[in-house]
Structure formats: C-alpha cells, structure tokens
Amino acid sequence: MIKRQEGYQLKEIESVYNLLPFGQKVADQKRGITMNETGVFLWKILEEPRPEEELIGLAAEHYGIAGNEEKEQLKKDILEFVSQLENLGILRRTFADQRRNAESSCYAGMQIAGIRIGFLGAEEMIPEKFHDFMIDFSGKWDQIIEFKEYPPGSRQNGQVLLRNKELTVSEWEEGYILTFPSMSSIYEAYMTEDGSYVEIYCRRPFGEEETDQLFHAIRMFYLYLAQKKGYYAVHSASILYEGKAWLFSGHSGMGKSTHTAMWHEQLGVPYLNGDLNLIGRKDGKMVVCGIPWCGTSEIYTTGDYELGGIVLLGRDTKDHVEPLIMYEKIMRVMQRMISPVWKEELLEKNLEIAKEIAKEVPVLHLFCTKEISAVETVKEEIDRLGKANDTNSMNSMERER
C-alpha cells in the first residue's frame, strides 16, 4: 500500500501545482516539487492508502485508457512517479506492506518465551548476546526487526507519550516512534501498533558499542510484544530453589545481587538471572522464562521455571519477614515491573498480572542485613510455606478420595 507522508501540502500558485513541505519536513530540509496533471490526480486519490495496482486502474479509468500498449506505458509512468516520490520521502509504503515483504527475507532469528523474532539487515548488527536464543525457523515470525544502515528518509512526528534522557516514545498513525537520546548509533526506530514489525535506523561503522546499544534498544520492542502475549518483566535477580524460581527485588541499593550471591555461594543454589525476569503463564502455572537481558551481571538462563514467589527487600539492622496485605503485594509487584506503561491500557495489563501473581504465589517482605543470616531467615519462611502447601495439597487429595 502506498500512502502520503505527512508534512506536505498541495498548493496551486498561478495555475502551477506544487507540493510544499511544512513542519518537520522543513526541519529535515525536504524540498517541494512541481506536479503535473497526473501527479496532482495521484496525490489527491492517495488521501487514503492504495496499492499500486489500484492507482494504475484508477488513472486508466480517469484518462479513458483502454489499449494494452497505452496501459503498459501508463503503468510504467506511474511506477516511476511513485518511486521518485518514495526516494524523496514524499510517499511511503505502509508498515503492513513492508512486513509482508520482509517475512520471507529474514536471514536469522531468535526465540524467547516462545516468541519468535526474525532479523533483516546486515548480519553483524545482530548482538552476540542473543546467541544462545538463536533458532532455525522458516514459518511466520511473531516480530520482524529490520536494520537500516542510514537515517530515515523522512522523520515522523506523533503525540509524545513519554520522554526522558534515555527514551522518547511517540504514538503516530501506524504505531510508535522511539528515539534513544543516549544511544549515538541509533537515529530512531518505528514499530507497528501490534508489535509485529520494527524498523531500526542505525549509524555506521558498527562495532561492539553499537551492537550493545542495539541489544538494549531491542529489549523495548520485545517487551512490548511480550506484554501483548501475556509475559511481563520484573526488575529482579533470581535463583532456582527446590525446583522453582524465586525472585528478589528492591529499589536501587537494596542488595538483590548481594543477597542472591549468598544463596549461590553459601548454599550452592543456581542463579537464573541477575537483573530482569520475565513472568507469564504456561499450562496454568506462573513461570519465569529465560531472557538474555540481565543488566551488567552477565547471569541469565535460557530455560523456563515455575515461579515459587517474590521476595521484596528492605534494609534493617535485624533480619525479619513482615507480612503484607493483598493491596501492598499487588502494588509493590506492579511497581517493580518494567513492561511498557506508555498508555493507560498497558498500565491495566501490568496491574492485572500483578494481581494474579500476588494471589497465586507468596510475595514476602524481607527486612535484612547483608549477612548470611538474611538468607537463613527468608529460607526458613520459604521452607515453611512449602511444607504448608504440601500439607494442603495432601488434604485436598484426601478429600477428593
């Protein structure tokens, strides 16, 4: 589908038609062009997106062209006109159209929590940190990420949803515009509203720093689609204890890394992720899925594990677990989530999963020191909850008999 770019106005000046840029297009130093009769006709009918075949058919009907030879010439002229205006950034193809064209062209891809992401563009742009998640796949990708090694031909504007020193997100007619002010190698990126197609405009040359920036930028697009599919990211470190994933979370400086390190070093408990955990539902159970993003810890897993519970950390001079009422559990779990809250409906999604988590698994509030006694205190509570759960399950089975 071909459509107009925003930021151009058709004006008649002394019987001569011109497409004149305004707003962002002037800022991007785009120039206007003079339009002939056919160009004016095509511009007017492109008020709504149309496929090239429809443009040709409508033009043939408008000019009363019936012969095959004349139609072929008209087709050639129109395709040339469309190509010229695409190159000038005046017309563009819809993202849905671009995604269809890209589907069969992905040369590599990865799978995280069952979500398949295909890549299109220079192979060296794929961050090495995705290596353990790469797959061979020839079906339909859930998300396609296309790398483009140049600035966007025409920048888009939309309604700003959030802006800080790390990220700006704007909403526009086909989805979202993301810019990363602190990432010098990324001009900007676009994502469809359904999250199925992403364009990232990158700067050359491409080395370790640039691919590292891409690694972190891609996390935003993945987490958006994951949220749509029922998976949510919680800022936390995690361990595997008694076959279940336990998450430890708290504000910066609360010591989640120190605490999980004691579990690992003193008790031999395996690490899962050092900074970020993805929670969703599989086979009716809450699970933690392996993801490559793990802060600076370099600790991650590719496996999926049933969620045991979440421990919220607080500092004190004495180790003790304090009970939380349901409201506190829900709010504190939601506050530790980093899945997108760009719009109200995304906040609603985060709130709903926080409610489910708080009602299905233990959410503990551990006030603790930096000593091994902190681990012993919370381990004792986890073991107690595990025994209580086993007793309840046995009693339930007895009743069913």
Is the pLDDT assigned to residue 224 strictly greater than 90? yes
Is the pLDDT assigned to residue 206 strictly greater than 90? no
Give the pLDDT score at 192.
95
Average pLDDT of the segment spanning 279-299: 96
Give the pLDDT score at 394.
46
Is the pLDDT assigned to residue 395 strictly greater than 80? no
User: To the nearest whole percent, how much of the chain has pLDDT over 70?
Assistant: 97
Question: What is the chain's mean pLDDT, rounded?
Answer: 92
Whole-angstrom distance, CA of residue 23 vs CA of residue 73: 36
Average pLDDT of the segment spanning 299-320: 95
Ranking 21-30, 106-115, 341-350 by mean pLDDT, the lowest is 21-30
Instruction: Give the E-state strand segments of 95-184 in sequence order.
Output: 108-112, 115-120, 134-135, 143-148, 159-163, 168-172, 175-179
Ranking 39-53, 93-107, 171-185 by mean pLDDT, the lowest is 93-107
Those residues whose C-beta lies under 8 Å from the C-beta of residue 131, and which sit 6 or more positions away, are none
Whole-angstrom distance, CA of residue 260 vs CA of residue 350: 25
Give the model confidence (pLDDT) of 40-53 as tens digits.
999 999 999 998 89
pTM, full prediction: 0.88
Given a contact cutoff of 8 angstroms between Cβ atoms, the answer to whether 71 and 60 are in contact is yes
Whole-angstrom distance, CA of residue 155 vs CA of residue 5: 9
Give the pLDDT score at 391.
57
Give the pLDDT score at 321.
96
Given a contact cutoff of 8 angstroms between Cβ atoms, the answer to whether 225 and 171 are in contact is no
**HSE-CB of 184 using CA atoms within 13 angstroms:** 5
Average pLDDT of the segment spanning 133-148: 93
- 27 against 341, higher pLDDT: 341
DSSP 228-242: HTT-EEEE-EEEEET
